[in-house]
Amino acid sequence: MPIVTDFDYTLTTIDVGDALCDRFAPPEWHAIDDRWQRGEVSLPAAQREIWSLLRATAAAVRDFVATTARLRPGVPEFFRACRERALPVYVGSGGFDFYLEPLLEPHRPALAGLYCSRGVFHGDRLALQFLTGLECPSCAVCKGRLCDLARAAHPGERLVFLGDGASDRCAIGHADLVLAVRGSQLAERCAAHGRQPFATFDDFFEVMRLGGLG
Ligand SMILES: [Mg+2]
Beta bridge partners of 11: none
φ, ψ at 42 (rounded to 5°): -75, 160
Cα–Cα nearest to 1, from 182, 153, 172: 153
Cα–Cα nearest to 95, from 182, 18, 148: 18
Domain ranges of the chain: 3-13+71-117+131-210, 17-67
Confidence (pLDDT) at 212 = 84
Q: How far, in Å, is the centroid of ligand 1 from the Cα of 86? A: 25
Coil/strand/helix, residue 151 = helix
Contact 162, 183 (CB under 8 A): no
Domain 3-13+71-117+131-210 has CATH 3.40.50.300: no
Q: Which amino acid is at 117?
A: S
Of all residues in the chain, what percent are helix, strand and coil, respectively (each to 5)?
45, 20, 35
Strands (E) across the chain are located at 3-5, 89-96, 111-122, 125-129, 160-163, 177-181, 198-201
Q: How far, in Å, is the centroid of ligand 1 from the Cα of 109? A: 22
Return all residues near 192 (Cβ < 8 A) that are at least 6 apart.
Answer: none
Q: How far, in Å, is the centroid of ligand 1 from the Cα of 69? A: 13
Q: Are strands 177-181 and 111-122 parallel, antiparallel or unpaired?
A: unpaired
Confidence (pLDDT) at 214 = 67
Contact 34, 28 (CB under 8 A): no
Contact 2, 153 (CB under 8 A): yes
Q: How far, in Å, is the centroid of ligand 1 from the Cα of 133? A: 20
Q: How far, in Å, is the centroid of ligand 1 from the Cα of 6? A: 6
Return all residues near 153 (Cβ < 8 A) that are at least 6 apart.
Answer: 2, 88, 112
Q: How far apart are alpha carbons 8 and 151 in whole angstroms?
A: 22
Per-residue pLDDT of the chain (214 residues; tens, 9 = 90+): 999 999 999 999 999 999 999 999 999 999 999 999 999 999 999 999 999 999 999 999 999 999 999 999 999 999 999 999 999 999 999 999 999 999 999 999 999 999 999 999 999 999 999 999 999 999 999 999 999 999 999 999 999 999 999 999 999 999 999 999 999 999 999 999 999 999 999 999 999 999 887 6
